[in-house]
Structure 1
Amino acid sequence: MAFRLAPTAASEGFRLEAHDTVGSTNALALDRARAGDPGKLWVVSKKQDSGRGRRGRVWATPEGNLAATLLVVTNAELRLAATLGFVAGLALADALDAVVPKGRIAIGLDGGSDGKNRFELKWPNDVLASGAKLAGILLESAILEGDRFAVAVGIGVNVVAYPKDLPYPATSLGALGAACDAETLFLALSDAWSENARLWNDGRGLAAVRRRWLARAAGLGGQVAVRIDGNVVRGTFETIDEDCRFVIRDDEGSVLTIAAGDVHFGAVASAQV
């Protein structure tokens, strides 16, 4: 099966550039933007040789996994454009719900979960299944002429394989018993993106995105540790604020708002992280 767009996405003017293998779908998308592409372009591949995660970390995409980047060209201020990562998380979770049979995935997040979501969203950019990282999202941007921004919304999903040498649990759809290939997942993702992007509405619908995101949030109300520039802050995960920043109440009762950091839940939050 070849990669293809959902009919809803094609009817809304989205386009597709598919590859057997690439260096980085994000890098390719930004190259297209600098060359004048107007956006609404999906760049996808089942193999990526030089993918990146947050803070320059390597994100491996072996053959059969999904590397997908949507190029968004927008006049929205960069602060709002940065919240597209939350749109991406919702779209991917919706797509996974659509293509993975019910009963295949059981959430077991360290720290507790009521099990209402098979796929949960971990702030700021991960999708979890059974408490382990299934997917990561990375936004990269470039300034264009005319006060516009190009935003590469990169989405990497462990479909058939996952890395074993990580400091946190990871998994793949295959390891969880879900028979879904990268092409099928992308088809559902391109459909789910359209719905969630309409909700976001160039940032005007961010409050609605925030509500939807919180309904899928991993670890909400539980113990959390956040590593910020080498320091660790511990407390209770209370919410994300109107700008989608992480809000915790520390052990002394103070409320802290965090714009960037590495989050750990449950028993891991009580240990050294």
Structure 2
Amino acid sequence: MHCLPALQFDWIHDLSLGTAALLVFATLAVFALLRGLLKMLWNTLGLCLAGFVAFWIWQHDLPPHSLPWIAPVAGFVVTLLLLRFAVRGLLPAPSDSESSGTGGKSGLSRLFTLLFSLIPTSAVCFLGALLLRHAGSLAEIQSFAQPDRTSDSAAFFSQLKQRIDELLPADWFHSVDPLTTQLRLDLAKLIVTADDPPPKAIPVLETGDIRELILADPELRQLAREGRYAEILRDPRLDRLLENDNLREVLRNTDL
């Protein structure tokens, strides 16, 4: 029993000074790699989180009746600064000796870096697809309301939204951006065209209680006349309208 520790640690005596130095260097390299990957991941996710905060503020019109872009931009900057201070506290800046170190990365470390970078890259791609899809939803409403005056950019974003929905399940986006569900989009289309409905919307608006429900709010009617589609889409009064089971059933059975 007393010889067991010696048996366990006999290999230490066989190490040369060069091998020990290589082990120490490899250990430090692994820690530096993990530290760099963690910092890259945190910075990228922080950028995505700041973008989502700005998007959420814009979605909910906070504070109400303010300039459209002031609050989202302020939310983005404040969130980014707070996260930057947090990451500096968790991951302090490297010293001069660390930053001046040389030595290329091995093939294995490069592969590990590439695989690990897929996480923030996926987050950035999803956020980009989310914003493009939201812009496409607004363009879809505009194209429905003004088919003869649809701009090239509106047509482009509307088609881009269709391509995104073909590639990715729409439910992935609805949990983050509930303003672009199909029922809400169809309701917004009916609101903006209620005064002069296209042929596809006439059967729905011929239903008396549905038409009265859609035309009941003068503020929504004014937004529709002014072409303020983004404000209509994020207006909380649409949530109350969609609580009507009859309206929801009609919208489900209507292809606008």
In the superposition, the TM-score normalised over structure 1's length comes to: 0.25
Structure number with bigger Rg: 2
More helix by percentage: 2
More strand by percentage: 1
Question: Whose RCO is larger (CA < 8 A, sep 6+)?
Answer: 1
In the superposition, the TM-score normalised over structure 2's length comes to: 0.26
